[in-house]
Structure 1
Amino acid sequence: MGKLVRDGIPALVGAGAVARILEMDEYAVALRAKLNEEVAEYLEAHDPEELADVLEVLHALAALHGLTPQDLEARRAAKADARGGFGRRVWMDF
């Protein structure tokens, strides 16, 4: 069993590491799984350092869709302008 790791991890692990480059379809699946993993780690630890890992995965997912981090931020900002953000802590019961 394996998992998607940051690009520099195989060199840190050394000769015992077995690594391969994923095909694009495998990569997309692995990134979605990695997003779940990183979000779960943040939810468990409540450590803002884990948010950096979530953001890294989000940037990689955005790149799969042809978006740069700036493109993603522009889309986020446009949604915030149109509908607001989450800073006011608004809760609705349906």
Structure 2
Amino acid sequence: MPPAEPPTRPGKLVRDGIPGIIRAAGKDPQVYVADPAEYLARLGDKLSEEAAEARAARGGQEVLEELADLLEVVRALAAAHGADFARVEELRRRKAAERGGFTGRVVWTGNR
């Protein structure tokens, strides 16, 4: 699948339940359903947005909430590319077994 073009319409991708929450607050949300190409582009934007929010979080529950949002976007991206999250997790485990994870805090500074 080719890279998605950036969205040209205003707005941002929101969770499916957000329009209902807005309606319950007595407001009238203006929404539409994105076509597949726009959806991929907006998921990419949302991935960057959620990663920035996770990075800026101050710790504790705030970090966990942002990581949960980030994970939801990853799940949606996997589904948009025809895979379920179990496939992503399988690939993550394989890479961790072959190359390790990031818990060792190893920083590479180059080769001699």
Tell me whether the two structures share a fold, i.e. TM-score over 0.5. yes
Higher relative contact order (CA 8 A, sep 6+): 2
- Bigger-Rg structure (1/2): 2
* 1:22 and 2:34 correspond: yes
Q: Deviations over 1:8-57 (max 9, x none)?
A: 00011115101111000000000000001111111112422100000000
| TM-score when normalising by structure 1 | 0.94
- TM-score, normalising length: structure 2: 0.80
SS of 2:40's equivalent in the other structure is: helix
Instruction: Determine the C-alpha separation between the residues in 2 that align with 1:60 and 1:68.
Output: 9
> In the alignment, what sits opposite 1:72?
88
CA RMSD of aligned residues (A): 1.0
Q: Tell me, which stretches of 5 or more residues in structure 2 are unaligned? A: 1-9
Stretches of 4+ moved more than 2 A in 1? none
In 1, the alpha carbon distance for the partners of 2:81 and 2:98 equals: 22
Which one of 1, 5, 21 corresponds to residue 12 of structure 1?
A: 21
Q: Structure 1 or 2: larger helix share?
A: 1
**Structure 1 match to 2:43:** 31
